[in-house]
Every structure is written in C-alpha cells, then in structure tokens.
Amino acid sequence: MDLFDLSFFLSTMWVGPFWIAMLVYPEHEKTQSVMGGPWFFLGPIVIWWALMASDPQALVDFAKDSMDPRGVLDGLAELLGTRVGASAAWAHFVAGDIVVTRWMWKRCLEREVDRWVSTVSVFFGVMLMPVGVALHLALVRENTD
C-alpha cells in the first residue's frame, strides 16, 4: 500500500464513524456533540492538503492551465489522471459529501421529519450525494408541507 492508497483509505474511513452516527443514532447527544465541531470533515481536508503539498508542481501547472479557459478541462484531466490527483480529488469529494450530509441531517432534526426520511437522506448523502440531496429536498419538503 503506497501513500495514495493509504490516503484514499484514510479519507474514506475518516468519515465513516460520523456517517454511522448520523445514520444510526441521529438524535443521540454524542452524535450531536461530535457533529457540532469540525472533526467530521477535517481528516479528508488535511489529507487533501498533504497530497497537494507532496506535488506542488501539479498545482502550479493546473493554475497555469486555468489562465486559458480553453485549457482548464485538459489541465484538470491531466491532474486527475495521476495517482496524487485522483487521491486528492477523492479526499475532496469525501469532505464535501460529509459536509452536505451533515446539513441534511441537521435539517431533518430541525424539521422533525420521520426517521425513514432522515435515514434515506443521510445514507444517500454519503453514498451518492447528488441523489441524496435530490431525495432529501423532495422528501423533506413533502413531509413538512
């Protein structure tokens, strides 16, 4: 297992306990406590920074490509086509997923929606975030009207 495999594994596993807490124990005081601070997303963010620091030239090259709007997509594809780029992108995705999932979880608690709505929102929030957001917005709106 190299640095990139390890970073992929750690960023994924970091959010797991927070996700499980929101999924299985949404109203528990410990869940409320751990989700109240920044810890739920800090792991993947730190991993992203470490990966970016391991290859600063990739960021410089991407920034140069970004100066020409016609080169942005090519530069991004080139960066993501590397192990460091793919690992960093994954850490970025995982951090975003858990932040959005936390928003949906809090919204479910505030609106006192049925438990199954909260479970669906939180489950898909991490597993397939765009699907989770769409379901959450449809179900929570429908459930609270």
Query: Which phi and psi angles does 69 have, rounded to 5°?
Result: -55, -25
Name the band, by pLDDT with cuts 50, 70 and 90, for residue 5: very high
pLDDT, position 82: 87
pLDDT, position 143: 45
- Spatial distance between the Cα atoms of 33 and 21, rounded to a whole number of angstroms: 11
pLDDT, position 144: 45
* Residue-wise pLDDT tens digits, 24-65: 999 999 999 999 999 999 999 999 999 988 888 877 877 777
* Residue-wise pLDDT tens digits, 75-121: 788 888 889 889 999 999 999 999 999 999 999 999 999 999 999 99
- Helix 39-54 crosses helix 3-24 at what angle (to 10 degrees)? 170
| pLDDT over 60 (residue 3) | yes
* Residue-wise pLDDT tens digits, 6-16: 999 999 999 99
pLDDT, position 80: 86
Domain ranges of the chain: 3-144
Q: Specify burial of residue 38 (Cβ count, 10 A radius: 0-12, 13-18, 19+).
A: exposed
Dihedral sign of CA atoms 77, 12, 130, 63 in order: negative
pLDDT, position 142: 53
